[in-house]
Amino acid sequence: MQLEVIGVGGAGCRIADAIRAAEPTDRSFLTDVFAFDTDGNDLNRTVIPESNRVRYGPDDIEGGLEGDLERGRSVGRDYADDLLESADRSTPGAADGILVAVGLGGATGSGAVPALVSALQRRSDAPVYVLATLPADREFDAAADASGSGPRASEPSTADAPPRPNAAVNAVATLERLDGVASAIITFDNEDWLRPGETLADGRDRCNRELATRVAAVFADGGGSAESVAQTVIDASDIRRIVGDQSAIVALGYGDQAVETSGSRFGLGLLSAEPDVDTSEAVSAVETVVRKGIRGKLTLDCDPETAERGLLIVGGPPAWLNRRAIAEGRRTLESAVGGSGILGGDSPRPDGDRVFAAVVLAGVESDRLAALRTAADRADQTDRAD
């Protein structure tokens, strides 16, 4: 699948950076990567080519919007067409899909993304997916914790970054505005992925790499390479079929395992480009990564049974991609997912040294989203009381 990636706001641009770095060397799946932000200094910290970085907005918001979502929406609406023209520099029709990355706790990305996604949908026949990170509780609970009234008063606060009391409100409001606009919303919960006592500033690079690895595993599949062709190809239409076009909430799962990639045939010491692999070892490796992908940590904590549709991609060195084990992995996903729409395929990586499983769960329900809504309601009540 050929994907155009657009990062909006500080968090979105860092995620776009990470996705660009995660692109496999043996297959290019990115048609272009853009960074859009109101803060020129943040833009200059990205590794995205300068020609694809766009600083937008009036001069008085250089440095950010300080959580003012309404101002962010206004600026987003005013500059959506300008940003669209910047994205139009990419080869028309080259992308099978557009991925807009954004952090939902702030005001710049959260404010601009609904208007930008709506404009992109009008421009292109390709689906427009949003890759959204949810704010961690420790960001918006810091103010409440100072008075001892917050639900996490015993946890360390983010001493190296100012608290964002509006983070939950901004996230929930933006998710509501994206409903019916984005083709699908792929979510990543910072709260679940940050370690105890770790600040967002300390953990975000690691979290972004984890997210980018999963994005690349799903979208970089294209049926194999010149050296090896997939038995069951997962293409752009398959991904579109699974995630849909009705703003479904999507969670990604991933599991991998290092495998031996050197060997000899017939025990004669003759090196082989494709080593002999014991069937039981290949089956065990595939079963292990599939289990990790389905039951391990997801980008959004949820029960797979709530998913309406699911997709499984198993990849790695061709000799390790046991067809029987992959078929069994798909049946495992079918039994785990409540819906009936399940697809599965393989992704040979001749130069790889790991077997991996990428899992897409679409249309999921999550208690985390309900918790964010509760936090947003609490923040609204506090503002009205003040």
What are 126-164's pLDDT values in tens digits?
A: 999 999 999 999 887 654 444 333 333 334 443 445 577
Residue 358, beta-bridge partner list: 254, 313
Distances, alpha carbon 316 to alpha carbons 30, 183, 185, 232, in Å = 20, 29, 27, 14
Residue 33, beta-bridge partner list: 5
pLDDT for the residue numbered 90: 59
- Supply the CATH classification number for the domain 3-220: 3.40.50.1440
Phi, psi of 72 (to 5 degrees): -60, -40
Residues 74, 118: Cα–Cα separation, whole Å: 14
Residues 2, 132: Cα–Cα separation, whole Å: 20
Asked if the domains 3-220 and 251-362 are classified in one and the same CATH topology, the answer is no
4 Cα distance to chain centroid: 14
Q: What is the DSSP string of 336-363?
A: H-SSSEEEEEEEE-TT--EEEEEEEEES
pLDDT for the residue numbered 61: 75
Six-digit token string for 106: 């702030």
Q: Where are the domains of the chain?
A: 3-220, 251-362
Residues 386, 264: Cα–Cα separation, whole Å: 74
Task: Spell out the CATH class of 251-362.
Answer: alpha beta
pLDDT for the residue numbered 166: 86
- Determine the length of the chain: 386
Residue 16 in contact with residue 6, Cβ under 8 Å? yes
Q: Which of 212, 207, 215, 187 is nearest to 364 (CA)?
A: 187
Mean pLDDT in consecutive groups of 10 residues from the start of the chain, 386 residues: 95 97 87 94 92 90 75 93 83 83 94 96 94 91 45 40 80 96 98 93 95 96 61 92 96 96 51 71 95 97 96 95 94 88 92 94 96 88 62
Residue matched to tokens 């970089």: 220
CA dihedral 298, 299, 301, 306 (to 10 degrees): -80
Residues 12, 104: Cα–Cα separation, whole Å: 9
